[in-house]
Structures are given as structure tokens and as C-alpha cells.
Amino acid sequence: MDFDLSPEQKRLKDAARELARDFATRAATHDRERSAPVENYAALRDAGMFGIAVPKELGGLGVGAIGWVAVAEELAQGCGATALAFNMHMNATGGISDRQRIPLAVRQRVADLAIKDGKLMCTSATEPGTSSLLPSSYVFSIEARRVPGGYRIHGRKTFCSMVESSDYCYLFAHPQNHPNPTQLIALLVDAKQKEITFTDIWDTLGMRATRSNQADFDGAFVPDDLVLYEISDFTRGFIVEESTWAFGGFAACYLGVGLGIVKWAQEFLSHRMARGHTQVMGYHPDVARRVGDMVTEIEAARYMVYRAAWEHDAHGPTMAAFDWFLRAKLAVGNALQRIINNVTIACGVNSLMRARELERMIRDAMTGPIMPPASDACSGAIGLMSMGLDLDQAPSLRTEDPAVTIRTRNKEASR
């Protein structure tokens, strides 16, 4: 394994570090106002980042998963919400580019939209009532109805990060009247159509500037050249096959948030001096131990993320890459929980004042363990695969007939 960055990957990492410095100047405002950092997305486009997940043969930068990890960990230290939302663009462009089952002309069309036309893309896989703790709950009720020249889609998506700022949305819908209720068709939808409306529901603990709002589709049109592929198993067909650009990217972004917290604490504790003392607080043995724990935790998680990215770059989107990204996501989530505990105790109440950026970073970090797949879902899947057991045979909560679920959700969406 070789985690050394190529000259191009180093260039992009340095560029991301500069962007992050700029993003940091507005991060608190966007968090407070729950506003979309559209100027950050424009800066990423102008820096040539829209093609970072696309291979060179399709006109992209071709820097692989390690290239994106190197960039994401820098961006997230400036504004975690910007990095996490922009990861949805990586999921769309990288996931589609990786799929050899998609005709080359369609993959090229998507790449050109992002790189030549500068179009921002998001990915939406969540509908009302689903849970990242229960993969079996991902039964899609949004419906694709065949019409001349393409499809019209009807239904609702929730937690659609960056959707209002995006030009296109990568999503899944159930083909109308298909006998298999779990059959899905992947589509790239023009997000600026009047048949799509947004509802502001994203008033939450952290990552507030992702604007992960609700989107309702009332007949939005998708032409045939943006109809991507069909699958009958969402877990295998999307979660496994696109793990690198989906939750692998989440792991990289939350890694950056964790790195930012640790660096903030190091700077704060190496300069802050309590009244009546002649040494900075970092010399206190309890404080030094907690900083040492934080450094070790985040560096261990960092190498796990790079290990997973190397697996993808060396061997492609395999089950092994899926397994390693599960481990990376779990490692980052666990590290964040311990870092949050250590940093608050080591730095004290003064560090948690809203005017300081640590408070915002802690809130962003707290969402890491529950970002899909949640830490418990990761550890359960890792345990099963490590024993050579079948993920599909794992017991879960009892589920209803998928066809009943679809009918119920369609009724709810139409109200």
C-alpha cells in the first residue's frame, strides 16, 4: 500500500487548503443562518474541483479516491457543511463514472455536464420513514412513469443535501407498474424544473449549511439520455457498489472535522495561560494526556480512511472496498465521539462560547456517527463479513410487504 500523494493530488490538496481558509471566514454565518454556501460551491467549480471524482478517460482529473480524501479532509477543516454537501457531487459524478454497466455515452454526458458545463450535482437516496439503522427500510415509493422520450417522476425525497443549490439530482425511483416492488431505476434529474418544490425542514444540531431539505417531484421530466441503469437490490446495487463516493466520502469529510477540532485544541491549549500561572494549560498532565489521546485517535482513523481509499484505487469498487470503507466510517465515528469528550474537558467552558468556532465544529462532529451508515450499522456489517456470514441473512426488525409500504407512502406524499 502506498498512501503518498502524486504531484497532482498534492496540488489539489494545497488548493483545497487555501479554499478552506476562505470558507472558514463564512462558516459561522452560514451555520447561524442555515444558509447555503453557494459562493463556496462556485469557488470549487472555479478551482476545477467539479471533475475530481471523474477518471481521465472521461475528461476528469483522475486522482482517484485518495485524491478526494486528501481534498475533503482539508475542505472540512474550513467548513464541514460545505465539504459534506459537496461530497454529494462526488457521489453522483464518481459513482456514475465507476459503473461500467452504464453506456459510455451516458457516463460521458454526465461528466461533460459537470466538467464542461460546470453543473453542480447532488445525490438523494432518502425518503420519508427510512432509517440508516435499518437498510431494509429503503423501500422507494417515488415513482417513474414512462412517457415519450423519457420518464416523469412523482414522489418525495427527504434530507436532500445541497439540492436547492444543485443543477441536477441523482436519485432512484420505482418504475410504474413493475411487478417487483424493490426494482429501481437510477436517474439524473434536472433540479431546476418547476415541477420540483422544496420545503425547508433542516433546522438541526449540526451541518446546518448543508440545507438537507425536502424535495417534492410532481411530474419532473427525465430524458432518456439521463436514464442511467436499473437495479433490483438497493443495498447491493448502490450502497455496496458506490460505497467509495457515498459513505466513504462521508468518512473523509468527518475526518476533516475531527482534524480541525484537534488542531484547534492544540493551538488553544498551547497558548492559553490561567491567571496566576507561568505555564500554558497544555503543560497540565491531564490536559496533555487528553490531547495525546485525541491526536492518536484521529490519526488512526485517518490511516483507516486512506487504507479504504487505496483499496478502491487499487482494485475498484469491490466488496473488499465496501468492507474497508465500513471500517473507516466506524473508525471516524468512534474517534469523533472520544474527541468530543476529551476536547470539552481539556479546553473547558471558555472554549465552548458560541463566538469561538470550536462549538460549531463539535456540533458538526456529533452528526458523524449517525450519518449513513450509522456506526452501529457499520460495526454489525463488519462483524458479519469478518465471520464470513451473509449480510442478507442477518435478522432485523420485522418488515411489512414492500408493495404495502409503497402504496402507503404514495398516499402520504399526495396529501
Please, how many CA atoms are within 13 Å of residue 251, restricted to the half-sphere of its CB? 36
What cell numbers appear for 68 in the block?
A: 478526494
The whole-angstrom separation of Cα 118 and Cα 316 is 26
Same topology for domains 7-119 and 238-393, yes or no? no
In degrees rounded to 5, what are phi and psi of residue 157? -120, 145
Task: Specify the residue for cell string 432512484.
Answer: 172
Homologous superfamily assigned to 7-119: Acyl-CoA dehydrogenase/oxidase, N-terminal domain (1.10.540.10)
Please give the pLDDT value at position 154: 97
Q: Tell me the pTM.
A: 0.94
Return the CA Rg of the chain.
21
Domain boundaries, the chain: 7-119, 123-233, 238-393
C-alpha closest to that of 100 among 384, 316, 380 = 316
Q: Which amino acid is at 294?
A: M
- Burial of residue 111 (CB within 10 Å: 0-12, 13-18, 19+) is buried
- Nearest of 388, 404, 294 to residue 345 by alpha carbon: 294
Between 2.40.110.10, 1.20.1630.10, 1.20.1280.50, 3.40.50.2300, what CATH number should domain 123-233 receive? 2.40.110.10
Any idea which residue has 437510477 for its cell? Answer: 186
User: Which pLDDT does position 394 carry in this prediction?
Assistant: 81
Under-50 pLDDT residues of the chain: none
Nearest-angstrom CA–CA distance, 231 and 239: 12
Q: Are 302 and 293 in contact (CB under 8 A)?
A: no
User: Residue 197's beta-bridge partner residues?
Assistant: 216
- Half-sphere exposure of residue 30: CA atoms within 13 angstroms, side-chain side: 24
Residue with cell 462560547: 353
The matching CATH number, chosen from 3.20.20.70, 1.10.357.10, 1.20.140.10, 3.40.1010.20, for 238-393 is 1.20.140.10
